[in-house]
Amino acid sequence: MSDSQQTDPAADPVPAPLPRWWSRPADPVGPHEASVPPPRAEPPAEGDPVTAPAPAPAPVPQWWSRPAQPLAAHGGSVPPPRSVPDGNADTDTARDADAEPRYDPWGARPLQAVDQGRAGSRRVRLRQGILLALGIALLAGGIGGYAGVLAERQAGTRLELPQAARTDRGRAPDSVAGIAAAALPGVVTLHVNGAESSSTGTGFVLDGQGHILTNNHVVNGARTMTVTFSTGESVPAELVGGDTGYDLAVVKVDGVRGLRPLALGNSENVEVGDPVVAIGAPFDLSNTVTAGIISATGRPITAGGDKGDGSDVSYVDALQTDAPINPGNSGGPLLDARAQVIGINSAIRGGDGKDSSGQQRGSIGLGFAIPVNQGKRVAEELMRTGRATHPVIGVTVDMEYSGDGARVGERGEGGKPAVTAGGPGARAGIRPGDVITKVDGVRVHGGDELVIKIRAHRPGDRLALTVRREGRERTLDVVLGSANGS
């Protein structure tokens, strides 16, 4: 033992050979064997000499060194292996200075923990990356959706549909619009307050002095009244005069400038089928314009009669029209294609009965207007004297007669003669009991129609009356007389 264990102190120290379990394997280990240290060498058997090795620098553990080639399990992510110290102090010191901190092989955590930590961090980073991508996608989607809604709203506000360009608002003078534009400034709406009720009607301007023509039944019994023009201006008005038999009245406004009188036409020129325009305030809807045609001329109608004694009955040889006329149109103008007044809207044939408010039902296409020729004459008399005159033939008509034609009565009112002595009828040769069948060749079927046909003329006009007497007909010439109206 002595000569095998002693060393020469002067000789260079020879490093002791590394233990077998400390050495590096000849070939690279697999992915699961790299982290397990090689087995320890068997201790020497009894009796074998034990040689104490000379002191030498501690070798680096094999499990601390890195394999010559990258481990397959980590795909080249492990740094190249560190070499084993060779006992050279200079090189070993340099190597130790560059070396990473050594790992304690006897620590609680195994070496595999390093690799597992790296894999876990990769999974964390992958999970974080996915969540970040989802968050970005959701944020981008939200921003894009909001921007889309905003763009849609903005696009909606800027939406423009095709539209015709604005043109000249002028209309042909003979069109409904042209007629209305010419006439409306001269049409007014009347609001009348009476002792027992109030009413609404229509009228139109006759002259620059403020005279306005309307229906008598609109202003009859009025205590106060106001006139409203198409501009919306309202002024008080006063009654000049009215006539029940013609259902016409004239009112007047003062202090109004710029009045637009309507032109008066000639009702003798009207033919069936002519286009017409009616203006009024049906149910207080001012400046309402309707259009239609002349349905008939010379239509005998009576209106009123609420008093029962006949004193309030109006007799009109009317123009019939299908232009809608309703309560409130009364007194308004009926205009021809030249915007000239040819009639004064006065009556309608409405539906049977009255509505829930007690008013007459609306138009069914049967409207009647007083011919403007008759209206002009009556208006002139009312403006001059406040009263109108009626043409008469000086006979009393039997209203109870049911036969065809108008029969002259046997007795007049109060026992007076049925044929006024010295009157127009007596001078023409009319006798009590005669039946008048025609006026100027136009057949009449009753007493009302005879009165209507006579009142369609002026006092002093000459008429040809066809009379049936004792079964024979004869023609008599009559010059109409005059009587004061009511």
Encode pLDDT of 410-469 as tens digits.
988 888 899 999 999 999 999 999 999 999 999 999 999 999 999 999 999 999 999 999
Q: For this structure, is 2 an active site residue?
A: no
Say how far apart CA 248 and CA 240 lie, in whole Å.
11
Q: What is the pLDDT of residue 77?
A: 46
Say how far apart CA 127 and CA 145 lie, in whole Å.
27
Q: How many helices (H) and strands (E) does the chain have?
A: 8, 20
pLDDT (mean) for 202-209 = 97
Q: Are 438 and 401 in contact (CB under 8 A)?
A: no
Which residues sit opposite 477 in a β-bridge? 464
Spatial neighbors of 144 by CB under 8 A, at least 6 apart, are none
Of the residues 199, 286, 314, 330, only one is catalytic, namely 330
Location of structure tokens 């009926």? 334
Location of structure tokens 């138009």? 363
Q: For this structure, is 402 an active site residue?
A: no
Of the residues 115, 191, 211, 247, only one is catalytic, namely 247
Judged on CB neighbours under 10 Å (0-12, 13-18, 19+), 274 is middle
Residue (of 220, 182, 455) closest to 341 by Cα position: 182
Mean pLDDT of the chain: 80
Q: What is the pTM of this model?
A: 0.66
Q: How far apart are the first and last CA of the chain?
A: 174
Of the residues 191, 211, 217, 390, only one is catalytic, namely 217
Decide if pLDDT at 174 tops 60: yes
Q: For this structure, is 330 an active site residue?
A: yes
Structure-model confidence comparison of residues 196 and 90, the more confident one = 196
Which token pair is 337? 């294609």
pLDDT band of residue 303 (cuts 50, 70, 90) is: confident
CA distances from 432 to 405, 408, 421 (A): 14, 5, 12
Decide if pLDDT at 106 tops 90: no
pLDDT (mean) for 122-151 = 82
State pLDDT tens for residues 20-49.
Answer: 444 454 454 444 444 455 555 555 555 555
Q: How far is CA 223 from the centre of its chain?
A: 42
Q: What is the pLDDT of residue 34?
A: 46
On the CB side of 122, CA atoms within 13 Å amount to 8
Say how far apart CA 227 and CA 237 lie, in whole Å.
6
Decide if pLDDT at 75 tops 50: no
Which token pair is 254? 């003062």
pLDDT band of residue 141 (cuts 50, 70, 90) is: confident
Location of structure tokens 């009215």? 242
The total number of residues shown for the chain amounts to: 486
- 292-329 per-residue burial string, b: 16 or more CB within 10 A, e: under 16: bebbebbbbbbbbeeeeeeebbbbbbbbbbbbbbbbbb
Judged on CB neighbours under 10 Å (0-12, 13-18, 19+), 407 is buried
Q: What is the pLDDT of residue 349?
A: 83
Say how far apart CA 252 and CA 184 lie, in whole Å.
18
Q: Which helix (H) or strand (E) holds 98?
A: helix 89-98
Say how far apart CA 29 and CA 68 lie, in whole Å.
10
User: How is the chain split among helix, strand and coil, in percent rounded to 5?
Assistant: 25, 30, 45
Q: What is the pLDDT of residue 31?
A: 47
Q: What is the pLDDT of residue 446?
A: 93
